[in-house]
Homo-oligomer: A and B are copies of this chain.
Amino acid sequence: MRVGIVGLGLIGGSLGLALRRLGGSLEVRGVAHHAEGVAAAQQRGAVDRASTDLRDLSDCDIVVVATPINQIQSVLEQIAADIPRQAIVTDVASVKRPVLAWARSLPDPSRFLGGHPVAGKERSGLSESDATLFRGETWVFTPDDGQELTPFDEWFRLVRAIGARPQILSADAHDRQMAFLSHLAFTLSLAYAQTVRPFADPRLGGPGYRGMVRLAEGDPTLYEDITATNRGPLVEAIDRFADVLHDYRERIDHGDRVGELFQQGARAAH
């Protein structure tokens, strides 16, 4: 069994580390954009072999696209040209509808399954990669309508073996839920950091402040790309949040049943 990983950042690198820990006859190949990425992944032990040439994955059974979302379309075009059609192909992007649309131009779209490991860190990059990143986390798969999942059984087995819990969801439902669970979260963290800065000294911020700006310390370019591909659901999530916040604001301002509201918020968090 050979698994090829395209893109050796936080997720790709962590996946390589986790899969290599499984041992056995599994071989992990990597493809990075630049020679430095190849060398770094080899040094970190995230791959058995790596190169900058996607054609070096042509004998892989499974190809995992783990690049930033704005590179996925061109990577899928290269895969269409260079990878034998019997390989199965999957990805790890946090928005699924556009990826599914791009994957329809593969020679055999039934060999592609969109995936999203719900795992991450506030900092990205190979240097943050961690073999235990997926442990206990959900790994969502978003099959196309009526898509047969049997070809992906071996991939599901590996995903479970590295500690994640596979879950099937439509791409639509996934993207709407992620707008709330992830994309709204980093938007609020960024907006919060920006709101606070002119009015308060962050050194006076305790653990509560630091927790709320942690996501804002992530890679803004990554966030921008995600936002661009999930704009509608994210704007809807922001609007829902703004309505709830307005209710909080009014009740706090009038001292009216604030406790009841806070109890509701606390229950929602548990």
Whether A212 contacts B188 in the complex (CB less than 8 A), given A220-B259, A246-B242, A249-B239, comes out as: yes
Residues in A62-106 with C-beta less than 8 Å from chain B: none
Residue pair B195, A209 in contact (C-beta under 8 Å): no
Residues of B contacting A239 with CB < 8 Å?
A: 249
A218 contacts chain B at the CB level, 8 A cutoff? yes
Contact, CB under 8 Å: B203 / A185:
no
Contact A190 B118, beta carbon cutoff 8 Å: no
Query: In chain B, what residue has the closest Cβ to A138?
Result: B204
A216 nearest in chain B by CB position: B269
Bound Cα distance from A119 to B207, whole angstroms: 7
Q: For chain A, give the interface size range.
A: 35 or more
Q: Scan A168-207; emit 1 where CB is below 8 A from any B CB, else 0.
A: 0100000011101110111111111111110111111111
Across the interface, name the chain B residue whose C-beta is closest to A182. Answer: B208
Tell me the bound Cα distance from A192 to B269 in angstroms. 9
What B residues does A261 contact at CB under 8 A? 190
Chain B residues with CB below 8 A from A184, complex form: 192, 195-196
Asked if A252 is at the interface (CB within 8 A of a chain B CB), the reply is yes
A125 is an interface residue with CB less than 8 A from chain B = no
CA distance A270 to B215 in the complex (A): 11
Whether a CB of chain B sits under 8 angstroms from the CB of A217 is yes
When distances are taken between beta carbons in the complex, the residues of chain B under 8 Å from A119 are 206-207
- Contact across chains for A201 and B177 when beta carbons are under 8 A apart: yes
Q: Does A211 contact B (CB under 8 A)?
A: yes
Q: How many angstroms between the C-alpha atoms of A255 and B227 in the bound complex?
A: 9
Contact assessment for A220 and B188 in the assembled complex, using a CB-CB cutoff below 8 Å? no
Q: Are A228 and B186 in contact (CB under 8 A)?
A: no
Q: Which residues of A contact B (CB under 8 A)?
A: 118-122, 137-138, 140, 167, 169, 176-178, 180-182, 184-197, 199-209, 211-221, 223-224, 227-228, 231, 234-235, 237-242, 244-246, 248-249, 252-253, 255, 258-259, 261-266, 268-270
What are 7 inter-chain pairs, A to B, with CB distance below 8 A? A177-B199, A178-B204, A186-B208, A194-B268, A195-B240, A199-B237, A242-B242
